[in-house]
Amino acid sequence: MACNTAHMFMEQFELSIGHKITSMIDVTIEDITSRNLKKIGLLASPNTFKSGLYARPLRRTGVIIETVTNQELQKLEELIRRVIANQTDSSLKKDLEVIVDRMVRSGCEAIILGCTELSVINGLNPIKYTIDPLTLIAKQLV
């Protein structure tokens, strides 16, 4: 499944179709634990933050999760909405880089892009230190 937020309904989807779906969340957690990362930043939509899709399983592995400030959350929501509205330009990536840089300076070893629209912004030339669940799941499925 190539949408982070849709993972909130994973169980219902699996029951509907009668088999297990490969989870972006699980693939991302596996990547983080295999690299023995201890402190991770999380960038996501408000719903993904509220749901704990990444935070709960990461905490079970002992990983420390840093989230964004209220101002950064508002900026992320703006970036996500601009991608959805197809209003993309180079300023989106620059704004995303500012948040990633702040989290790295605060000690995060890597930053999860926990929203598909953030993966779109990150593009083919990824920002250093980012973990893109969309890319991870694509690699696993291929």
Question: Is 108 marked active-site?
Answer: no
Question: Residues 55, 76, 115, 131: which is the catalytic one?
Answer: 115
Reported as half-sphere exposure (CB side, CA atoms, 13 A), residue 137 has a value of 19
Structural contact between residues 79 and 122, judged by C-beta atoms closer than 8 angstroms = no
User: Cα separations (Å) of 110 from 49, 66, 82, 130?
Assistant: 17, 10, 24, 6
Is 115 marked active-site? yes
Backbone phi and psi for residue 94, each to the nearest 5 degrees, phi listed first: -60, -45
Point out the catalytic residue in the list 1, 3, 6, 21.
Answer: 3
**Burial letters 66-88, b for 16+ CB under 10 A, else e:** eebeeebbebbeebbebbeeeee
Q: Which residues are catalytic?
A: 3, 115
